[in-house]
Amino acid sequence: MEKISRPFSYIRYDHIDSLDPKDHALLQQARRATSLAYAPYSKFRVGAALQLSNGIIVSGANQENASFPAGICAERVALSTVSSQYPGCKIEAMALSYDNKAGESDHPVSPCGICRQSLAEWEQRQSFPIKIILGGLTGEIYIIEFASLLLPLAFSAGDMTV
């Protein structure tokens, strides 16, 4: 028997004003993107902002549907936009924020499992790390250096090769 440990670390900031200007701007864009969400059922509006290698910022917001679970998360809305409008362009960073209309929006929340899988695969296929910036509308912020850290032992295309 062998116990294997895979460490997880992130950088914590007390306030958005402590971030470097590029990360600050990207998180602000994610916060603004929460207003684009369609979340009449959960009242949990999520915004994502992606910094592309060509300098463009792409935003996305969650889109719910009465035929649950037919909705799509903000992260995958933004990833789909990049895939269709900026094919081949690398994603350098993704900022996520949320506006919880049924409670507080004062601490970081992490992507769901499907979005973690999508981010890990995107990072793998572009062979370039995606920095993840997590923050609510207020409060502390977490920065994770690689999206793949969010999903240890991820299932990947390599698992399907013969």
Phi, psi at 84, each rounded to 5°: -90, -30
75 included as an active-site residue = yes
Angle between helices 113-126 and 74-85 (to 10 degrees): 30
What contacts 13, CB < 8 A, 6 or more positions away? 19, 140, 141, 142, 143
Element of type H or E holding 98: strand 91-100
Q: Which tokens hold the place of 137?
A: 């509308």
Name the residue among 119, 146, 160 with its Cα closest to residue 7.
146
**How distant, in Å, are the alpha carbons of 42, 103, 145, 159 from that of 9?**
30, 28, 9, 26
Q: Which of 2, 64, 75, 140 is catalytic?
A: 75
The residues annotated with a catalytic role in the active site are: 75
